[in-house]
């Protein structure tokens, strides 16, 4: 069932001179964890605030549980918020901060205690409940804010950069907790983040925004393996994807990408789409390939490309090799144990099944005939 639905939503500021969100349509199913991902200024916070009712919608409709909620105040929407800027009450203990939404509803003290205990257990806050916000770490504060949102039943839980104030280790720990809670309680949760790793790790679905426009909505696998355009391909994944500008050449019936006098065969499945795109031997395309899908050639039978070691970085759990081919630099992620010298000649192999092709003018991905998913 659709829990949340946005239909052609717009948000303008300053009498239309700033278009923060443009024609945004998306939907979220019950029990789904949706991430809205994008760089600063992409419109993700405006979107969240419109859903929450903290911001008026310029145009379009927002549905929650099948009802239009455009004109409902934030209080009237059955939505719980854990906002980055949603400060905790400094004069209340963590316990009372969490209990607050229940207290204002006039719940009996005994019930409040039971509920706070249950939620605190869930977010690992039990030992700190008697402390004041100023006495605990940023991580505990963020947990408290989440607990306060989770304590009452709601149709939808909105989280604004829930992990932003935590150090790297707390972040991975808390990420695990949020996912556990969301899945075991079957909550419908929407969070915004600028951190693509966070979105990949946590979400069931990711909506990627740039300059107010939806670029792609899909599962983490879809946006990672099959990005719709260059923006998504570039924004998602670490180390970042390699983009290599090459000329497309037709050799008899095959299309090949020419990379400084070397050739990469374009897979058969692209024949139709690339054929339509091909406009003679000066046609340019952009090859996209993730560093993890390039290998060091181990056999003379491989269709390899030769280059020189530009630099090699051993970072313990992996090795990052940068290879220079003509003027292009290509990064390769290797398993531990490799070692290279500057300038050394290397032969590398692209996993042809993982190559992506983009139109350099529009940035859109040119897709193969056999769908990759």
Partner 1 sequence: MEVLRLENVYKNYGEVEAIKDLSFSCEEGELFIVLGPSGAGKTTTLKMISGLEEITKGKIFIKKKLVNTLEPKDRNISMVFEDYALYPHLTVYKNISSPLEAIYLPKDEIDKKIKEIAHLLQIEELLSRLPSMISGGQKQRTVLARSLVKEADEYLMDEPIAHLDAKLRYQMRGEFKRLQEIRKMNILYVTHDFREALSLGDKVLILNKGVTQQIGTPQEIFNKPANTFVANLVGDPPTNLIEGVLKAKDGQYFFQVGSVSISLSQSLVDKLLSKINQEKLIIGIRPFDLYCYLDNKDNAKILNTEVYVSEIVGHYNIISIKLDDTIVKIREDKSFKVSMGDKISIDFKEDKLDFFDAVLGNRIF
| Smaller CB separation from partner 1, 130 or 221 | 221
To partner 1, the closest distance from the beta carbon of 270 in angstroms equals 23
Largest distance between two CA atoms of the chain = 81
- Residue from 67, 111, 167, 251 that binds partner 1 (CB under 8 A)? 167
What's 211-223 look like in SS3? Answer: CCEEEEEECHHHH
Shortest distance (Å) from residue 317 CB to partner 1: 6
Examine residue 239 and say whether the peptide bond preceding it is cis (omega within 30 degrees of 0).
yes
Binding of partner 1 by 168 (CB under 8 A)? yes
Residue from 320, 328, 352, 366 that binds partner 1 (CB under 8 A)?
A: 320
**Restricting to residues 201-220, which ones interact with partner 1 according to CB under 8 A?**
201-202, 220
Binder among 90, 106, 127, 316 for partner 1 (CB under 8 A): 316
Shortest distance, position 336 Cβ to partner 1, whole Å: 8
Q: 315 exposed, middle or buried (CB, 10 Å; 0-12, 13-18, 19+)?
A: exposed
Smallest gap from residue 222 Cβ to partner 1 (A)? 12
Sheet strand arrangement including 262-265? 262-265, 254-259, 242-251, 283-289, 356-358, 365-366
239 lies in the binding site for partner 1 (CB under 8 A): yes
Residue 66 sits at the vertex; the CA angle it makes with 151 and 12, to the nearest 5 degrees, is 85
Judge whether 72 and 37 are in contact, CB under 8 Å.
no
Binding of residue 310 to partner 1 (CB under 8 A) = yes
Q: Are the C-beta atoms of residues 247 and 287 closer than 8 Å to each other? A: no
DSSP for residue 280: S
Q: Which residues contact 357 (CB under 8 A, 6 or more apart)?
A: 266, 270, 274, 285, 286, 287, 288, 365, 366
Residue number with CB closer to partner 1 (302 or 313) = 313
Under the binding rule (CB under 8 A), the answer on residue 296 touching partner 1 is no
Binding mask 255-294 for partner 1 (x = CB under 8 A): -----------------------------------x-x--
Residue 342 binds partner 1, judged by CB under 8 A = yes
Question: Does the footprint of partner 1 cover residue 176 (CB under 8 A)?
Answer: yes
Residues that bind partner 1 (CB under 8 A): 167-169, 172-173, 175-176, 179-180, 183-184, 197, 200-202, 220-221, 224, 234, 237-240, 290, 292, 310-311, 313-317, 320, 322, 331, 333, 336, 342
């Amino acid at each position: 069932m659709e829990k949340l639905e946005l239909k052609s939503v717009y948000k303008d500021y300053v009498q239309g001179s700033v278009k923060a969100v443009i024609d945004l349509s998306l939907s979220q199913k019950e029990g789904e964890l949706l991430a809205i991902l994008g760089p600063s200024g992409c419109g993700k916070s405006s979107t969240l605030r419109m859903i929450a009712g903290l911001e008026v919608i310029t145009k379009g409709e927002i549905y929650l549980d099948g009802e239009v909620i455009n004109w409902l105040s934030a209080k009237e929407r059955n939505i719980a918020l854990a906002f980055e800027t949603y400060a905790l009450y400094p004069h209340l203990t963590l316990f009372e901060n969490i209990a607050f939404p229940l207290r204002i509803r006039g719940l009996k003290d005994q019930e409040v205690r039971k509920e706070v205990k249950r939620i605190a257990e869930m977010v690992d806050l039990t030992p700190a409940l008697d402390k004041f916000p100023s006495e605990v770490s940023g991580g505990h504060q963020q947990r408290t804010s989440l607990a306060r949102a989770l304590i009452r039943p709601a149709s939808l839980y909105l989280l604004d950069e829930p992990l932003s104030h935590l150090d790297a280790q707390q972040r991975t720990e808390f990420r695990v907790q949020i996912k556990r809670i969301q899945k075991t309680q079957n909550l419908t949760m929407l969070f915004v983040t600028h951190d693509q790793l966070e979105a990949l790790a946590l979400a069931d679905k990711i909506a990627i925004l740039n300059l107010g426009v939806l670029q792609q909505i899909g599962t983490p696998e879809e946006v990672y393996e099959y990005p719709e355009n260059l923006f998504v391909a570039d924004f998602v994944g670490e180390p970042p994807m390699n983009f290599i500008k090459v000329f497309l050449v037709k050799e008899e019936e095959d299309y090949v990408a020419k990379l400084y006098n070397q050739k990469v065969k374009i897979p058969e499945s692209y024949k139709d789409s690339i054929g339509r795109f091909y406009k003679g031997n000066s046609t340019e395309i952009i090859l996209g390939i993730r560093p993890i899908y390039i290998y060091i050639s181990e056999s003379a039978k491989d269709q390899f490309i030769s280059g020189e070691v530009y630099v090699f970085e051993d970072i313990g759990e992996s090795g990052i090799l940068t290879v220079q081919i003509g003027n292009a630099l290509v990064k390769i992620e290797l398993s531990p144990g490799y070692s290279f010298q500057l300038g050394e000649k290397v032969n590398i192999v692209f996993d042809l099944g993982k190559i992506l092709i983009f139109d350099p003018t529009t940035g859109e991905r040119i897709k193969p005939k056999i769908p990759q998913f």
